Structure formats: C-alpha cells, structure tokens
Amino acid sequence: MLKADLDLIEEALVSGIRNFMEKAGFRSAHLGLSGGIDSALVAYLAVQAAGNENITGFILPSRFSSQHGKDDAAELAENLGIRYETISIESCYAAFLSTLEGIFKNKPFDVAEENIQARIRGTILMAYSNKFGSMLFATGNKSEISMGYCTLYGDTNGSLLPIGDLFKTEVYALSRRINERSLSQNGKVLIPLSTIEKAPSAELRPNQKDEDSLPPYEKLDEILSLYLHEKLSPDAIVKRGWEKGLVDGIINSVTRTEFKRQQLPPILKITYDPS
C-alpha cells in the first residue's frame, strides 16, 4: 500500500473518531492496552483525534500476560503522553474459576476460561466509562472480527470500533507508516518496535499465538478481501490458486460468526461496498 494511501486512511479514521465523539457528547475516551498492535494503533488514533490529555489507557494483566506485553503497553502510553493505569484482574479471575469449579469439574481448560478474562476486562472498562463519562474504544480489526476471533461482552465492549474495517495486515502497514513519519519528524518511534515485530497473541492461555486459531494473516487477509470486497464465490477464490480446504474453512468461520458481528459497536468504514 502506498504511503499516501496510508496517510489518507489515518486522516479518515482520526476524523471519524473526532466526529463520533463530538456527536455522542464525549470529551474523553479510554481503552485497554494489551501491548499488542491493535490497541497501540487505536490509542495513537485516539490521541490524534482528541488529544493525549483526554485519553486513558488501562493495562489489565492476568496470570497469562507476558512481561513484554505489559512493558510494551506502558512504553506506548509514555510515548503518546497519555495517562495509564495498571489493574491486575487475577483476583477477579481466581474468584470466577472458584465459583465455576463445581460445574466445570473434570473439564479441560478451553475457550470458556479464556473468555472469562476478556469479559472481566470488559466489565472494568465499562465501569470506568459509567463512572467518569468516558467513551470506550473497542480495538478489534477486520480480520479477527470476520473470523469471530473476539469475545462477546469482552473485547467487543465499547462505543466505537475505529479499526474494524482494517485488515490485520493493514493495521501493521499503517503502524509502520506512523513510526516512519514520526522517526523522520521527531527522531523517535511512537508504537514500540517490539509491538510490531512480535507474534500477535491474545495471551489468554500459556504461549498462545493467533496462528494457533487463525491462518497466517497474509493468507487470511487475501482470501477475506476476495470474498468480502470482490464478492467472489469459494470456487472462484480456489480458481485464483488458493487451497480449497483453507478457503472453505475461512468462509465457514465468517458465516458461522455473523451473530457476533451483529452485536459489535459501530465500525468506522473506509472501504467502499457497492452492495
């Protein structure tokens, strides 16, 4: 993607965030900071839209949160000049596991225990919104929400999904462009390099990586673009050279998880859909 296109996307997203906040009557906003690329980009865009004095970040570690993730989140907040708070969710998580121990007895750790963490975080972030009148940003991208790789009533909580129309590969491209421009203008990057370079992970269980659940984003985004943007059928996508099992698996996931997308916050649209 050309630099000019990335700059135009950034301008559109910043304008969209600013206009949404004004129309909804919010002067301040907040979000969870995981140390990952999505929350980093949303935090940057929020600062451009509302000013760093009006944005708060929350680092909400669990027993599975890596030290580098917490460090990257703190470094991002400091680079952007925003206030941030660190609140461990461990006591809440332990209480949930204890409460559910009887009905979960003899069941292996799975997505249920993973999603509890996301929902605890979502509750804390919504409580802050209610108490202080601050708007919560959700931080999901188009690749993940297309596949249903998100937790209802957890990381999908919020008033707005600023990057919900950006594929993951576009999130990386825009983040690199932001750093490139900042380095040229100010001699430093804003989004920590380790955030961009490390393997993406939800960190909801030990050693988790996104690619445990999803195809590599380079392949996933190409196929999603053909299906969602170009409106190609699965057979037509296969004829473009993609493996049938991969294509069918992706499109089946998109179809099965439509109920999640029906419950998402509003998404800032940057792509043209003639339908």
pLDDT in tens, 106-138: 999 999 999 999 999 999 999 999 999 999 999
User: At 84, is the secondary structure helix, strand, or coil?
Assistant: strand
Could you give the angle at the alpha carbon of 149 between the alpha carbons of 143 and 154, nearest 5°?
Answer: 120
pLDDT in tens, 210-259: 999 999 999 999 999 999 999 999 999 999 999 999 999 999 999 999 99
Query: 251 and 234 in contact (C-beta within 8 Å)?
Result: yes
Q: Rounded to whole angstroms, how far apart are CA atoms 163 and 143?
A: 10
Q: Rounded to whole angstroms, how far apart are CA atoms 191 and 214?
A: 24
Could you give the angle at the alpha carbon of 80 between the alpha carbons of 137 and 26, nearest 5°?
Answer: 35
Please name the amino acid found at residue 87. Answer: I
Residue 274 pLDDT: 58
Domain residue ranges of the chain, discontinuous segments joined by +: 3-210+257-261
| pTM: predicted TM-score of the whole model, two decimal places | 0.96
Instruction: Give me the count of residues in the chain.
Output: 275
Q: Which class does domain 3-210+257-261 fall in?
A: alpha beta
